[in-house]
Structure formats: structure tokens, C-alpha cells
Structure 1
Amino acid sequence: MTPPKDNRVIIAVGAGLVIVVAVVLALIFTSGGDKTPEAPPASKGGLTVDLADAPSLEPTRELKCFVDGQFVGLATLADCARRNGLATDALDVGLDETGALAAAPTAAFAPPPQLPPVQTVETPQATPSVEPISPKPTAAPPAAGSPCLRYTGSDWRVLSNGMSRAACVQALYAGTCVRPGEAQYGRWGDTTLRLVPRRVEQSSDNTRFRTLAEQDRNCQFPELN
């Protein structure tokens, strides 16, 4: 076979073969790398904290710490609890007004107020005289439930003379969230209600509180609907 007279043809064919081989090798080496590795969390624009999981934050994570209502600097959750002389789970953890993560003792900024005065009802004394029997007026049916009161910071105001506990909580706190260390108080019958970050609590002695219902991110109480 007579070789081609123009060496440029040979060079062009050779270059084409080199390109084809390079493409084949690239496909072979990349065949197992179809999946793109997920970007590390740090590259996604910062840390997002779920307040419901705040007590399980990294032990070395520092946040704003409040003691006796005063900001004392950044500290880990355990160190902030130690400064307050409390267990770690006795702190409220959430975002302050600047959006920074903060921790403070439950209701540190707002301790329970004095109970509202008890309204006494005078009982009329029985008279010895005999009155003529007359039809008794029909008494209005008593209001269902118990009185619901809100503490405004200076006094107690009645919201209703009779409603259920769930309705009282909704009337007092639905749509309202408080910052770490703060609290809002109310009364339902003989029970003190207290709104703290992420939950509403109840107490029968105005001292020891236990959780009544959890609060969601929209400051609502889905358990009480």
C-alpha cells in the first residue's frame, strides 16, 4: 500500500485518535463518581438551631448567659447553669431580641407575683320573721369553667368569669412568645399559669411549676386545640 503523500493527513488522524482515547479514559475514571458529595454544613450559611433541641447543643457551644437577670458574657450551657447554681435542664434556652442564642434560669426576670385577692361573698343572715311564700326568681346558670385572669405587671385583670383551662391558656398566651429568663403569668381558678420560652406551666401553690403544654415556633399550643 502506497503511503499518503501528505503527512498532514497522518498528523490529523493521530490527533483524532488521541482525543478519542482521552475521552474514553475520562469516562472510565468518572463512571463511579456520579454522586456529588454533599456540601459540609459550614458552607451552607451558618448554624441553624432548633430551640426544641437546645438542651442537646454541643457541650462546647457558647451562648449568652444571664445570671440574676444580668448578661454575664458567653458561656457553655453547663457553665451558665453552674453560674446560676442550677442543673442544666433548669435553664431556658432560646433567641434573644438580637437573634443570638441565650440561656437564663426559668422566669429569672419575672418571678411569680402575689396571688390575686380572694373575693368573698357575704351570706345574708336568716330572719326569724315568716315571709309569705312567693315564686322564687329563676337564677342564672353559673358560668362553665373557672375564672381566667391575666397579670399585667401591676395588677390582675379578669378575662372571663368562666372558661376551660385550655381556653384560658389560649386567651392568655396564643401568639405570644417570651425571651429566655422572662415569663408571663395568669390564673385559672386556683391554678397559676406561667408562660416561659417554648411552654406554658401550671402550679397549684404558686411556687412549684410543671409543664402543661408545649409551644411551637408560631407561639401556638397545638396540644390544646
Structure 2
Amino acid sequence: MVRDQKRWIAIGVGAAVAVGVGILLAMTVSRGHKNDEKMNDQPTGLTFTVADPTPSLDVKKPLRCYVNGAYVGDVTLAECAKKNGVAAQQLDVGIDDNGNQVAAPTASLVPVPGAPASGDVAQPADPAQGAEIVPPTAAVSGPVAACLRYSSNSWNKLSDNVTLGQCAILLFDTRCVSPGQAAYGRWGSKTLRLVPRRVEQSDDNATFRPLVDQGQGCSVPMVR
């Protein structure tokens, strides 16, 4: 009997010691993670950082160079500018469809289309027939005119009575072009041109000046 009591006392003491050790370990682990970030403080889902997709340019590294729309070899940016008779800053530089770095004068591969003559403009087609759906734009005050897109060698009307900024968005928002390439549109008597990273305008269909720079994702901000 005495022997059984001693055995149970020993078991009880051992259990008490084990519980005490467990409590001490738990307190130690808790103090060790006291300053850790809590799960509930973290944002839910995935976190993305979207960077400008344009790669950094090594001016000493050869890239594909175009002169008058023709490929003339892989040379440095300075040599390509010299071949084109312009300053290096006047070249469009970027990545072509095959992932190669290329340089070319602004829109050198795409000639400016002639201004639309009366009766040569296709009217907006029925969206039910598969025509382009023009998204609505926010109301902005200012002069308004018809907005036309040049595609498939013809002028197509997108909308009537929109501002210059609205027309630029309708034509070029989220649309990207490669160096040497261009896309064209019209707003009233102005020709609008999309080249890499910016939208340009011309009053004479020949001499272009900047209108607005494209943002991330080739977005076009509203012109004020």
C-alpha cells in the first residue's frame, strides 16, 4: 500500500514538472515572437508592384537600327542617330515584337496618311455587326469635333462632338506601338499620331508636336 502511494506521488511530481517545463517553453517562445508582424496586420491576397516595362538602355550596346524604314544593322544608339542625321534623343528606342532592342526615327516605318476627303469617311457601324464599341468618356468642356481612326487604309468615324482629349483617349488609350511604328487619327482638322510613349498632334498633317505622354500601361491621360 505504502509502495503504491509512493509510486503515485512520484507520477504526480513528474507530471507537475512536465507541465511546468511546458509552461516555461511556451512563455519563452511567446517572448521570442513578441515583435513579429501579426498575420492580421498583413494585407490579404497577393501584393503586386507594377514597374515600367521599358528596359534600361545601355548606350554602348548595339541595337537594331532603321534608316528610312530599312534595317541597316546592329549599331550603338549614337551611330544609329548619326546614320539618320538626327540627335540620339530624336530616335524612338524600345523592344520589338521579337524582344530585340531597336531604334528608329519617330514613325519612320509608317507614312502619314492623307487627310480624309469629303465622303471618304466611313460612318460608325452597328456594334451588333461586330463593329468597334466606343467606350463613353467623361464630360469635359471645350471645343468639340468629330474623332476619326485610320485603319485598314481608310478613315473611320468613332464619334461626333468630342473634345481633343476625349478623342486622344478613344484612339490611343492602352494602345502601345513599337519604335518606328505609329497609329493615326483625326480630330477635326488636326492629325493625331501615336508613337512610342506619347501622342502627337499636327495642324498641317506633316509637322508634329507633343500632345500628351502615355502613362503606365500605355494609358492616355485627359488633356486639359
| TM-score > 0.5, shorter chain as reference | yes
Unaligned runs of 5+ in 1: 1-47, 120-143
Match of 1:83 in 2: 83
- Displacement of 1:179: 0.7
* Separation (CA, whole Å) in 2 of partners of 1:74 and 1:49: 25
- Displacement of 1:49: 8.8
Unaligned runs of 5+ in 2: 1-50, 120-142
**Residues 171-210 of structure 1 aligned to structure 2 (within 5 Å):** 171-210=170-209
Cα displacement string for residues 185-207 of structure 1 (whole angstroms, at most 9, x for unaligned residues): 10001110000001000010111
Cα displacement string for residues 66-85 of structure 1 (whole angstroms, at most 9, x for unaligned residues): 12222222111110011112
The one-letter code sitting in structure 1 at the alignment partner of 2:213 is E
Cα displacement string for residues 133-184 of structure 1 (whole angstroms, at most 9, x for unaligned residues): xxxxxxxxxxx71010011141111111210111101111111101110111
**Residues 29-68 of structure 1 aligned to structure 2 (within 5 Å):** 51=54, 57-68=57-68
* Separation (CA, whole Å) in 2 of partners of 1:79 and 1:49: 26
Three-state SS of the structure 2 residue aligned to 1:222 is coil
* Separation (CA, whole Å) in 1 of partners of 2:191 and 2:104: 21
* Separation (CA, whole Å) in 1 of partners of 2:52 and 2:77: 14
Three-state SS of the structure 1 residue aligned to 2:218 is coil
* Separation (CA, whole Å) in 2 of partners of 1:172 and 1:80: 31
* Separation (CA, whole Å) in 2 of partners of 1:160 and 1:222: 19
- Provide the TM-score with structure 1 as the length reference: 0.62
Match of 1:94 in 2: 94
The one-letter code sitting in structure 1 at the alignment partner of 2:202 is S
* Separation (CA, whole Å) in 1 of partners of 2:102 and 2:144: 38
Residues 1:217 and 2:208 aligned together: no
- Are the counterparts in 2 of residues 214 and 223 from structure 1 also a CA contact under 8 Å? no
Match of 2:104 in 1: 104
Three-state SS of the structure 2 residue aligned to 1:103 is strand
Cα displacement string for residues 45-64 of structure 1 (whole angstroms, at most 9, x for unaligned residues): xxx9974x96xx44312211
* Separation (CA, whole Å) in 1 of partners of 2:53 and 2:83: 24
Report how many residues are paired: 151
- Provide the TM-score with structure 2 as the length reference: 0.62
Cα displacement string for residues 85-142 of structure 1 (whole angstroms, at most 9, x for unaligned residues): 22212211111001221101111111111100146xxxxxxxxxxxxxxxxxxxxxxx
Match of 1:73 in 2: 73
* Separation (CA, whole Å) in 1 of partners of 2:105 and 2:219: 22
* Separation (CA, whole Å) in 2 of partners of 1:163 and 1:62: 44
Three-state SS of the structure 1 residue aligned to 2:60 is coil
* Separation (CA, whole Å) in 2 of partners of 1:219 and 1:59: 24
Percent identity of equivalent pairs: 45
